[in-house]
Amino acid sequence: MSTPTPPPTTVAPRRRTSVLKMMFWLLVVPIALIVGYFAVVLNWNYSTGERAGWVQKLSRKGWLCKTWEGEMAMVSMPGAIPEKFLFTVRDDAVAENINKVMGKRVTLHYEEKVGLPTSCFGETRHFVTSVLQVEDIPLVPGVVVPNRPAAPSGAPAAPSPSTQPAPSSPLPSPTPPPSAPDTSPAKN
């Protein structure tokens, strides 16, 4: 009795599926992982908060990816050395609002993002999302100096302390003493 011979197997379809599987694992999966990583990093915040101070600089920077990069001086107490807060703005509308209040005391709301691999997203980890102009300047706890807005153009400005007239005194102004009559002996 003879044993039946098995039919020949085709090798070409297995190669094709193995090449497709290899391309899937080498291209599609890493791209999906990278896209997923960026989606998580851009939507997750390490921290959020607000910082107050005076915006000193805001400029649009970058070779390929242009972002707004800024610098704010924060002073904790009068006479203290200001600390610089470096930040990035990705929204043009927020950058325009910051430019409008440049040189005035402001509060910047920021989100800190960790893990962005390139400077295409910004040069700093702090991304400013909104700006608010501060009306009062606290000197020390309990003492607040109002921050008056500048007078509109064409309106008379309030006189500065150096140009204000001196307050009137209830005391009469000093007058020179009356001269005494000349009692010296006359010379003949």
Q: Give the 3-state DSSP-derived string for 50-112, with helices as H, strands as E and coil as C.
A: EEEEEEEEEEEECCCCCEEEEEEEECCCCCCCCEEEEEEECCHHHHHHHHHCCCCEEEEEEEE
pLDDT tens per residue across span 85-111? 999 998 999 999 999 998 888 999 999
Q: For residue 122, what is the domain's CATH number?
A: 2.40.50.140
Mean pLDDT of 169-182: 54
Domain that holds residue 84: 47-146
What is the band of 70 on the pLDDT scale with cuts at 50, 70, 90? very high
pLDDT, position 166: 47
- For residues 109 and 117, what is the distance between their CA atoms, to the nearest angstrom? 23
In a domain, 4, yes or no: no
Domain count, the chain: 1
In a domain, 38, yes or no: no
pTM of the model: 0.56
In a domain, 163, yes or no: no
In a domain, 15, yes or no: no
Are the C-beta atoms of 64 and 119 separated by less than 8 Å? no
In a domain, 113, yes or no: yes
pLDDT tens per residue across span 11-36? 555 555 677 778 777 888 888 888 88
In a domain, 125, yes or no: yes
pLDDT, position 164: 45
In a domain, 157, yes or no: no
Are the C-beta atoms of 70 and 98 separated by less than 8 Å? yes
